[in-house]
Structure 1
């Protein structure tokens, strides 16, 4: 297979999203969010390689490479060889109830959407703001405390912030807000079990959601609960795509793969791709 990558987004790319853009915030029930992401992927982009790592997974395709955190749990499902199969077909694995398999599906989705070409297209076509510079503007844990301070000056109180999953480097968030962390397996530093989401998220001003929720299928319900809050989807698993804004995400802090070989090597060795030097954080809002 040659090294020629898939062309940039087709002029009709996201046409249905453009038509529906003015109904942002409409609830996407059931599989609607996943179906929209998958249906708008091309049918002729093929998978070159894939790996389900101990902590991270990747799918490399003609268009580029996507990554996702390997999510544990769910049912058990046997996988077939993915090489030379359509990327959109592998993306359908995101709907699997075997969460490890679903992680590969999310990585396949990200292989298409988390690319400079698609981000540039979204910025031009829909007026989204896209920041991918290696500075404080692309690190939500650096710029959010400033927003929280502005909120406090306006409202006379610290904002209520709920984080679904704990993120490295969230110390500044915790110090500048009324901060709650929800996690399935409680450990020191976690405030409440994830089942508390039904009670605390509707009262939040800001909600931070790990991109891993795409694989474990909790994202649609979390977005529904967070409809009154400013919601940010965070992490390398987060898909940088317009349909998520229709589902009431306000901001996405995801990543794009710039050095595929370096990222793949780190994942295959059980290391974080964020430490590979081959990824760049991008914020789409």
Structure 2
């Protein structure tokens, strides 16, 4: 079950060092080669030895924390991975390896025409996700369900029947990604959200489209995170990028 996580960690070199880590209310950020983000999880009762020790560590050692069951540590680990992977250099390298960069922007907009009339599952209650129900047979799975959502155990029953599965990358933090990918093997699978790493390991494990972001204005994004802001507060300071494993079979 750790294969995906080991692959993500293996992509990080020993040389990169951590410059700064911010664990904000909504988002966690790590600065090294670039800035990487990961969703912050509620953690009122969790204790960690990490605070006060992150700066100056190798990014790889911090990245290994993605395997922690402590949500603070796992979020820091994922943001550390993204601080190396989510940059222009990585995008260019992936294109050189044959992966295809698609139109930038929202993954939901990218697939708007493709999902019409199809069975679509969205794992994670994204803003305005209910608008998709106008165009497809929509199921939203959420660990903390809102009105109309299904609880996340429903994944075991419905994902195998879907045509498209949009999966929040925060599932990497709570360790549900491997099972969700297994259940979604018959669908076109899109991993999306600010926590998403641009990693070929995701393609190897069954993801068809990686929809993540590159931070373009690091100081502003960091300020928003420190002040408790969410994606809406820094959305103009990042660029959403979509990369496909195999364009021919999807578009």
TM-score by length of 2: 0.91
Task: Assess, with a 3 A threshold, how the Cα gap between structure 1 residues 165 and 115 changes in structure 2: closer, same or farther.
Answer: same
Q: Is 1:68 matched with 2:66?
A: no
Contact 1:75–1:97 at 8 Å: present in 2 too? Answer: no
How much does 1:185 deviate? 1.6
How far the C-alpha of 1:75 sits from its partner, in A, is 5.3
**Structural mapping, 1:64-213, within 5 Å:** 64-72=34-42, 76-80=47-51, 81-125=53-97, 127-131=98-102, 133=104, 138-149=105-116, 158-190=117-149, 192-213=150-171
Query: How far apart are the structure 2 equivalents of 1:114 and 1:131?
Result: 16
Aligned residues: 241
TM alignment of 1:9-28, pairs within 5 A: none
Deviation per CA, 1:146-188, whole angstroms, max 9, x where unpaired? 1123xxxxxxxx2111111111132442211110011112222
Question: How far apart, in 2, do the equivalents of 1:92 and 1:180 lie?
Answer: 33
Question: Is 1:235 aligned to residue 193 of structure 2?
Answer: yes
CA distance in 2, matches of 1:258, 1:234: 18
Mapped to 1, the partners of 2:231 and 2:159 lie a distance apart of 30
Q: Provide the rounded CA distance (Å) in 1 between the counterparts of 2:48 and 2:11.
A: 26
Q: Tell me the secondary structure at the aligned position of residue 214 of structure 2.
A: strand
CA RMSD of aligned residues (A): 1.5
Q: How does 1:1-40 map to 2 (within 5 A)?
A: 30-40=1-11
Asked if the contact 2:103/2:110 (under 8 Å) is kept, the reply is: no
Residue of structure 1 in register with 2:241 after alignment: 282
Aligned partner of residue 158 in structure 2, secondary structure: helix
Match of 2:172? 214
**Preserved contact between residue 115 and residue 164 of structure 2 (Cα < 8 Å):** no
Name the SS for the 1:255 alignment partner.
Answer: strand
Moved over 6 A (4+): none
Compared CA separation, residues 50 and 185, structure 1 to 2 (3 A): same
Structure 1 length as normaliser, TM-score? 0.81
Contact 1:41 1:112 in 2 (8 A): yes
- Counterparts of 2:14 and 2:103 in 1: how far apart (Å)? 28
Larger Rg: 1 or 2? 1
Which residue is 1:13 aligned to? Answer: none
Cα distance in 2, alignment partners of residues 32 and 102 from structure 1: 16
* Pair 1:260 & 2:232 matched: no
How far does the alpha carbon of each residue in 1:16-69 deviate from its partner, in whole angstroms, 9 at most, with x for none?
A: xxxxxxxxxxxxxx11111111112110110000011111000001x1110111
Q: What's the offset of the Cα at 1:142?
A: 1.6
Structure 2 unaligned regions, length at least 5: 245-251
* Contact 1:141 1:172 (C-alpha < 8 Å) held by counterparts: no
Structure 1 CA distance for aligned equivalents of residues 134 and 12 of structure 2: 41
Displacement after TM superposition at 1:274 (Å) = 4.8
Q: Distance in 2 between matches of 1:246 and 1:42?
A: 20
